[in-house]
Amino acid sequence: MVLSAPENDTRVGLDETEEPTQTTGRPAQPLPLILVLSQTPEYGGTEKHVVELVRRLEGRARCIIVCLAEDCYSRFLGQCPHVRVVAHARITWAKFPRYWRIFTRYRPDVIVFAKGIPHLFPLSAYIAARLCGARRLVCIEQLMWDPAPQSDGGKGLGSLIKRLLGWRTRFLLAKRLQGRLAHATICVSEALRRRLTMEYGYPEHRTITIHNGADLRCFASEHGGRRKPAVDAAGSDCFTIVCIARLSQVKRIDLLLDALSMLSRSQRDWRCFILGSGPKERELRAQATTLNLETLVTFVGHVDDVRPYLRMADVVVLSSENEGLPLSLAEAMAMGVPCIASDVGGTGEIVCHGRTGLLFTSGSVEELCQAIGYLLIHEEERRRMGEEAKQWVHERFDIERVMTRVSDVILA
């Protein structure tokens, strides 16, 4: 049973009144308690990753998910008796005492920071986690970090003082300490791992890459080799583009709309479905209207089950300016759909250009338009990429193998 509790709830663990027993009648060793700290405005790839992880920890651990913003988990974990969801107010002041209070209240064996945004938790949270008595702290980094800030390179006493005591030095020192305070940092792409170790000073032996994965039982079994295509106004089958992304600035849906507007000048036998919600929705709808795309682009909103749309899709497009390793691409490829994605973060580790899809330079409307137009025209090439994409995900991105590795790191 999943429980939601106010900040002053002092209940600890799950089913505390029932002590597990062995066949001898002696108390059994209790399962370790994992506390997952989450701070997110709405359900997305990071939250889906957490849901898949804690579901697979049944029988190995008890889990408490502490939400410092919205509770995005209860509706997905209502049938998991080993999981509890607790709502707390977002921490904006007195950070160390408030993190300390959370950690000491629940007394977890392991603390996991689920980070869909870089720098989401401050250094004080890491210090509190290490001092509260938990035996292990693990961070899961889902989004590519920006390059480390560079020194101004100036000469003179003022520049020397800045280099020694300035904002950049303090910032990088805090990040370096975070990497050393965590027993393990899991990066969803090798590109992210390289950035953390080479630019932010994270220790290599504690910073590992475990790619996101797709649920092959759920997605691959849905493919079956037959599409259910979308139709145009005349009722004819048409080329179908699907975009699955939160409608936020980092996903650059505005770039996709500009590319589709360019495409519409030469090709109009296509339809695009944009799945997701977010702060940019009103602005993006207005942009689509301004670009005369109302009959070609449909904003579907948030969708819990994307498989019906992936069955329609000829191609999935992701135009983000920043990514870790997008789960939406893995799920699309598992169903045999080729992908077009901006070459940022770890997208190049899942989309092999010319084999499982196409990559384009981030921010380039022209390249994105050309990539969509190419796959629109070349049907056989599209099918070949889809088949290779499906095989690629089966070999390297099976969520069962991924979650086994993540669980082993957390419970080490």
What is the per-residue pLDDT across 238-248, written as a single tens digit (0 to 9) for each?
A: 999 999 999 99
Interatomic CA distance for residues 320 and 326, integer angstroms: 10
- Report pLDDT for 9: 46
- Give the chain's domains with CATH numbers: 33-213+399-410 (3.40.50.2000), 216-396 (3.40.50.2000)
Is residue 226 predicted with pLDDT exceeding 80? no
- Report pLDDT for 41: 80
Interatomic CA distance for residues 49 and 364, integer angstroms: 30
If you average pLDDT over every residue of the chain, what do you get?
A: 89
CA 366 from chain centre, in angstroms, equals: 27
Which residues make Cβ contacts (< 8 Å) with residue 222, sequence separation at least 6?
307, 310, 311, 335
Interatomic CA distance for residues 277 and 279, integer angstroms: 7
Q: Which of 39-48, 75-84, 252-261 has the highest mean pLDDT?
A: 252-261
User: Tokens 């969801």 belong to which residue?
Assistant: 85
pLDDT in tens, 262-275: 999 999 999 999 99
- Report pLDDT for 151: 74
Interatomic CA distance for residues 197 and 398, integer angstroms: 26
Interatomic CA distance for residues 56 and 73, integer angstroms: 15
- Report pLDDT for 193: 97
- Report pLDDT for 236: 58
Interatomic CA distance for residues 81 and 107, integer angstroms: 19
- Report pLDDT for 376: 97
Interatomic CA distance for residues 114 and 116, integer angstroms: 7
- Report pLDDT for 14: 53
- Report pLDDT for 225: 46
Lowest mean pLDDT among 149-163, 176-190, 208-222, 355-369: 149-163
E strands of 223-355, at which residues?
239-244, 270-275, 297-301, 315-318, 339-342
- Report pLDDT for 342: 97
Q: Are 389 and 333 in contact (CB under 8 A)?
A: yes
- Per cent of the chain over pLDDT 70 is 86
Is residue 17 predicted with pLDDT exceeding 70? no
Interatomic CA distance for residues 144 and 389, integer angstroms: 23
Top-confidence residue, 247 or 157? 247
pLDDT in tens, 336-393: 999 999 999 999 999 999 999 999 999 999 999 999 999 999 999 999 999 999 999 9
Lowest mean pLDDT among 162-166, 212-216, 360-364: 162-166
pTM: 0.86
Is residue 160 predicted with pLDDT exceeding 80? no
Q: Are 324 and 189 in contact (CB under 8 A)?
A: yes
Interatomic CA distance for residues 122 and 68, integer angstroms: 13
Section 68-90 average pLDDT: 92
Is residue 256 predicted with pLDDT exceeding 50? yes
